[in-house]
Structure 1
Amino acid sequence: MNKLLALAALTLLTVGIHQLSQTESVNLRLQYDNYTVQYGKFYSPGEKAYRFKIYEEAMKHIESFNSDSSNTARLGENQFTDLTPEEFAALYLTRKQLNMNLNAELYVPQGPVNASADWSGITKVKDQGNCGSCWAFSAVGAVETLLRIKGVLPTNTWLSEQQLVDCDRGTNDGCNGGYENLGISWAKKNGLTTSDKYPYVAKQQKCQISTGQYKPSGYQVVAANNMYTALSYQPITVAVDASSWQYYKTGIFSGCTLKSLNHAVLATGFQEDGTWIIKNSWGTGWGEKGYIRLPAKGNPCGVQDESYVAYLE
């Protein structure tokens, strides 16, 4: 009799677990349906089933990461959640690899390092879309913020990344990647126009406006030991390995990899403890309204390996 009762209890437990699993699966599918609506994703039935499996695995990873109390950041759902890591890299991690030009002019500190700095609000967060143009956004971001600080660029006037994507076609290669420092050099030679005159469309086109009124005097290489000093006075371009950034949501992210500098961003400041404040070009729906924070120690994601500052004489 006891064996029968035990068997019955085990059967009920198994059924309960199965029903719970089915409920969780249904809830996740409903969650994914809402996700596709929220992010404007339209798939055929077969493609949607495939994307759901990717989404399901991503949510498991996110849950596992967030359950680890040692992590100082949190991951979450965003526009990249139903992309495989390989697809994500192919679309967004396309910065060309470049050894720093040792013959380039070096940044020389013009004053002391501040206790902290934050230039985050000086220009808006932008979105490169499905175009490997991070280098253009980093270059334009450096020039745009410099000219805003110097009073050259009027408030609510934004410079054109699309102009660099279309017209800077020497070593740089539009949506297929490029070099942020060479983008600044192109802006020095030709000048940048505004995004109102040359709007961003996230694809390569024939060059439409080859010059502009807004010019930096050039770029300077910022040595690792001078980055905080430079950031005390203006944002700087930085190259990073962003392979682990796909699901970042909030907090100080210490889950970096460092294999290749595959993404260009803009460092916009640092906190009193040295935490880096980084502006990305994946829209305000990613990260902390478009930003990520990296820990001060250990050269996280290679943030100190290659950086440049735009300057005015």
Structure 2
Amino acid sequence: MHTSIAITLLVSTLPTATAATHPRGYVRSENNSTLLQDAPLATITLQDIKDAPDAVDWSIGSNKAITDVKDQGDCGSCWAFSTIETVESALFLAGTFDRPTELSTEELVDCVRGSGCRGGDITTGVDYLVKKGVVTSKDYPDTSSNARPAKKSSCSIKDKEIAAKITGRNFAVPECRVGDCSKQDEEALAAALAKFGPLAICINSGYEQTGDWDEYEGGVLKGTCRAKADDIDHCVQLVGYDKTASTPYWKIRNSWGSDWGEDGFIRIPYGQGNKCCVACEAVIVEV
């Protein structure tokens, strides 16, 4: 179902799934500070929040700042896709490339120690790229999506040409790392998305809960999809929101292929207690 014809449709998901049918791969990085006041945080002012438009979509039209939807296959590499997709957007918006350019998820899968198909975190991925730089997908193509989930990575970056450098990262809003996260500031997150472009986020995809993303086909997701730090299991790219829709929503780009959801995207409720932990770990890539 295409997003353009499904703006007001609400689709319920099926009852709790007994097994995940799509890969995830989030493993919280210990590189993040456990003290929120010590975490790198972007400046989002009250004026930024006031000036943020009612609707933003970085995935379509003249505002398009993303590459095509990708598929992580059976590899637990959502963190690498989320990171690289957001780097692609940041570099395009900064003028490094004249169009959104596909960069290498395989570089992160193969070269970030202790991660790969076994899972990882956005912050670890960005921190690696700050040190090493990023190469194009043409120069270092994806092979992990067709590999077994426990694939052992072999880094082959030495002979690759660095396409761009990354300077750092900030959190769009303070992380929620423990307990209930229903009070996260979604208005500030929307302002950050409008100001900086697409964001890398890690969320609760609802596995073993009502609202499981595995069963999503279209519309604004219904169900529990709790805002609990311990439920975070998947990393994706936040690309839009619409506060004026009949059911206000966030628009998210997934990495389960374009035949999933709404051409590879999902919409989840906006302003309903941080559904799916959308504002729990939201990262801005600096270039």
SS in 1 for 2:273: coil
For residues 253 and 144 of structure 1, the distance between their equivalents in structure 2, rounded to whole angstroms, comes to 27
Whether 1:173 aligns to 2:126 is: no
1:117 aligns with 2:61: no
Residue 136 (structure 1) aligns with: 80
Letter in 2 for 1:92: P
Letter in 1 for 2:104: S
| Contiguous gaps of at least 5 residues in structure 1 | 1-70, 77-83
Give yes or no for the alignment of 1:245 onto 2:213: yes
Q: Which residue of 1 aligns with 2:178?
A: none
Aligned to 1:263: 234
The residue identity in structure 1 corresponding to 2:115 is D
Q: Structure 2 vs 1, CA of residues 256 and 140 (structure 1 numbering), >3 Å: closer, same or farther?
A: farther
**Does the C-alpha gap of structure 1 residues 126 and 299 become closer, same or farther in structure 2, counting only changes over 3 Å?**
same
| Matching residue's letter, 1:194 | T
- Measure how far apart 1:156 and its partner are: 5.5
Residue pairs, 1:44-123, within 5 angstroms: 72-73=10-11, 85-88=18-21, 92-98=23-29, 101=33, 102=36, 103-109=38-44, 111=48, 112-121=51-60, 122=65, 123=67
Tell me, yes or no, if the aligned pair for 1:254 and 1:300 is still in contact at 8 Å.
no
1:3-55 residue CA offsets vs partner (Å, 9 max, x unmatched): xxxxxxxxxxxxxxxxxxxxxxxxxxxxxxxxxxxxxxxxxxxxxxxxxxxxx
Distance in structure 2 (CA, Å) of the matches to 1:104 and 1:215 = 22
Structure 2, gaps ≥5 residues long? 1-8, 174-183
Other structure's SS at 1:308 match? strand
Shift of 1:128: 0.4
**Could you tell which deviates more after superposition, 95-104 or 174-183?**
95-104
Matched, 1:164 2:87: no
Offset of residue 87 of structure 1: 4.6
5 Å-filtered alignment, 1:173-212, equals 173-202=115-144, 203=147, 204=151, 205-210=153-158, 212=162
Indicate if the aligned counterparts of 1:241 and 1:261 stay in contact, CA closer than 8 A. yes
Q: Secondary structure at the match of 2:190?
A: helix
**Are 1:241 and 1:256, in contact at CA under 8 Å, matched by a contact in 2?**
no
Q: Residue 75 of structure 1 contacts residue 250 of structure 1 at CA under 8 Å; is this kept in 2?
A: no
Shift of 1:247: 1.5
Pair 190,302 (structure 1): closer, same or farther in 2 beyond 3 Å: same
Q: Which has the higher contact order (CA 8 A, sep 6+)?
A: 2
Match of 1:298 in 2: 273
TM-score, normalisation: structure 2: 0.74
Where 2:116 maps in the other structure, the secondary structure is: coil
CA gap of 1:186–1:98, structure 2 versus 1, over 3 A, is closer
Identity of counterpart residues, as a percentage? 33
- TM-fit CA distance, 1:154: 3.7
| Matched position secondary structure for 2:252 | strand
1:307 aligns to 2:282 (yes or no): yes
Evaluate the alpha carbon distance shift between residue 151 and residue 241 of structure 1 in structure 2; reply closer, same or farther with a 3 A threshold.
same
- TM-score, normalised by the number of residues in structure 1: 0.68
- 1:215-294 equivalences under 5 Å are 215-223=165-173, 224-225=184-185, 226-233=188-195, 234-242=197-205, 243=207, 244-258=212-226, 260-273=231-244, 274-294=248-268
The structure number with the bigger radius of gyration is: 1
Instruction: Please tell me the residue identity of whatever aligns with 2:264.
Output: G
| Alignment-mate amino acid for residue 228 of structure 1 | A
The residue correspondences of 1:145-160 to structure 2 (distance < 5 A) are: 145-155=89-99, 157-160=101-104
